[in-house]
Amino acid sequence: MDNTPAFDMVLFGSTGDLVMRKLLPSLYQAHAAGLLNENGRILCLGRKQISLDEYLELVETNSRQHVKAKSEESWKEFLTRVDYLKVDAGTGSDYPALAEWVGPDTQKSVVCYLSLAPELFTVCCEHLAAVGLNRDNVRVVLEKPLGTDLESSNAINEAVAKHFKEEQLYRIDHYLGKESVQNLMAIRFGNALFEPLWRREWVHDVQITIAEDLGVEGRGDFYDGTGALRDMIQNHLLQLLCIVAMEPPANMSADAVRDEKLKVLKALRPFTSNEDVASNTVRGQYKSGAVNGKPVKAYREEKNVPADSQTETFVAIKAEIENWRWAGVPFYLRTGKHLQERLAEIVINFRDVPYQLFPSPVGSNTANRLVISLQPDESIRMHFLAKEPGDTMRLQPAFLNLDFNQAFSVRRADAYERLLLDVIRGQLALFMRRDELIEAWRWVTPIMEAWKHSTVPPKLYTSGTWGPAASSALLSRDGVSWHEES
Ligand code: BG6
């Protein structure tokens, strides 16, 4: 990859978790790989009046452990890019100092990363504009959650649009920065092999899972007002669904790709009643149990979570896309916390052969399957049936496996690193456009509404399992089972 243009990376909320755990380590990796322009500066903003040395001490304690440091020397060199300034995002009188720090240069790329509570997005953009930091070379990165429903998300987008043009706005969904998500596009649109099969005539069902072994990890106060539907489905899972289901874009420009994703979101069958939601979705909440051999407590016993919380930590949904390519093909989406393992994968189950010439071997229902694994390992695995060696005609499930670690020995950037480099370079393709966000909210709204008014509480599931039994039942009534169950 080429070196970036000159830049200023301004990190709001820089004593927070995201900056410490993800953003600084990602910027370091890019630095160590020689990808950052030598005229690239990082300005960390916080509410506290502390010196740069004091801030760097915080970085040593909270961020360094997340860095796969190449060497002491390159880490030190990286830190020379970092500066600290006391700016309270909500206080207008703090911004002139920021503008002065950035300076009048209109050529370099100025990135303002708002790692802030969404209530502060509007006021922060207003203050940036008031000191001229909305000129064309300024880009604003908006972290999720962008609102808590369609209305609040619209209000934020509306307010932000008063000061910034759409092409200056980078709504981040870190799943789009994962290497294997881009690989999915490469596989689909770079090979003639899959295209003819990628449609309702040949695909029986699609399963998209993001399973986490972690629980809410001390974020109970945030999580309880959010839940898995808003935290994961509305953004990450729907974005993955778009990449699987979209038509080939006219070219790889940001708008061409986003136009196609938008069409998928618009074609999602809307839920039309509470009954419709009840029969096509499952919401669950973890009970105590054991994950990776360690006992864990129930969600309702987590810090800052009410003992009668109805918030879902697990969701499974049967979605359908009403267009010519996908009509009638179920897309099963699933995500949850404290599940059996950490895993993100997309499974394409192809239809069976029209007539079975050979006796069905054990496991034959797992054949005709493409498994795209996003994490923990990145791989693509084709499951099919082959003849078992020997003198009888016996079939066995077999695999063709492409493991990206083995196939490509070059370093692969993590999602945040990739996306930060894209913002500095002004590449928008992997960020969500406003209309995509609106459609995604529109689709989840009836589910949120139905759950809000439902008298049926979330189904409790034991931590360390694959979620409530109702999740398996959602598929089994269609004669399907989740990948790991078949
Ligand atoms: C975030 C969610 O967007 O994604 C978290 O807010 C979740 O709750 C995380 O844990 C999962 O991301 P990853 O990349 O670790 O799968």
322-368 confidence digits (pLDDT tens): 999 999 999 999 999 999 999 999 999 999 888 888 877 666 667 89
Reply yes or no on whether 236 is catalytic.
yes
Q: Give the model confidence (pLDDT) of 283-314 as tens digits.
A: 999 999 999 999 999 999 999 999 999 999 99
Instruction: Give distance in angstroms: CA of 211 to centre of ligand 1.
Output: 10
Distance CA 271, CA 293 (A): 39
Closest-CA residue to 195 (of 309, 77, 285, 325):
325
* pLDDT for the residue 392: 84
Ligand 1 atom at minimal distance to the Cα of residue 175: 14
Q: Residue 9: beta bridge partners? A: 42, 111
Secondary structure class of 377 (helix, strand, coil) = coil
Residue to probe by mutation, ligand 1, list 23, 66, 236, 335, most atoms within 8 Å of CB = 236
Cis before 361? omega within 30: no
Q: Which residues of 172-204 are buried (b: 16+ CB within 10 A; e: fewer)?
A: bbbbbbbbbbebbbebbbeeeeeeeebeeeebb
Same fold, 7-171 and 176-413+433-485: no
Domain ranges of the chain: 7-171, 176-413+433-485
DSSP-derived letter for residue 485 is: G
Pick 7-171's CATH classification: 3.40.50.300, 2.40.50.140, 3.40.50.720, 1.25.40.20: 3.40.50.720
- Residue from 22, 172, 174, 223 whose mutation best tests the ligand 1 pocket (most atoms within 8 A of CB): 174
Instruction: From the options 3.30.360.10, 3.40.50.720, 3.40.50.150, 3.90.1150.10, give the CATH code of 176-413+433-485.
Output: 3.30.360.10
Give dist(CA 368, CA 203) in Å, integer.
9
**Count of alpha carbons within 13 angstroms of residue 243, beta-carbon side:** 28
The Cα 317–Cα 320 span in angstroms is 10
The pocket around ligand 1, CB under 6 angstroms, is made up of 174, 212, 231, 344
Atom 13 (ligand 1): residue with closest C-alpha?
A: 175
In the predicted model, residues of the chain with pLDDT beneath 70 are: 1-2, 69, 361-365
* pTM, entire model: 0.95
Determine the atom of ligand 1 nearest the C-alpha atom of 226.
6
State both tokens at 277.
């939601």
pLDDT at 2: 61
Q: With the C-alpha atoms ordered 446, 447, 450, 451, is the resulting torsion angle positive or negative?
A: negative
pLDDT of residue 364: 64
Provide the token pair at 9. 């990376």
For residue 389, whether the previous peptide bond is cis, meaning omega lies within 30 degrees of 0, is no
The single residue of 127, 163, 174, 236 carrying the catalytic annotation is 236
User: What is the Å distance from ligand 1's center to 226 Cα?
Assistant: 13
Instruction: Please report which residue ranges of 390-468 form alpha helices under DSSP H.
Output: 404-407, 415-425, 434-453
Residue 176, classed as helix, strand or coil, is helix
Q: What is the pLDDT of residue 396?
A: 87
| C-alpha to C-alpha distance for 450 and 150, rounded to whole angstroms | 15
Residue 66, both tokens? 């997340």
pLDDT score recorded for residue 367: 83
| Residue 289 amino acid letter | G
Contact indicator for 216, 301 with CB cutoff of 8 Å? no
The closest residue, in CA terms, to atom 9 on ligand 1 is 232
Q: Ligand 1, from 178, 231, 341, 416: best to mutate by most atoms within 8 Å of Cβ? A: 231
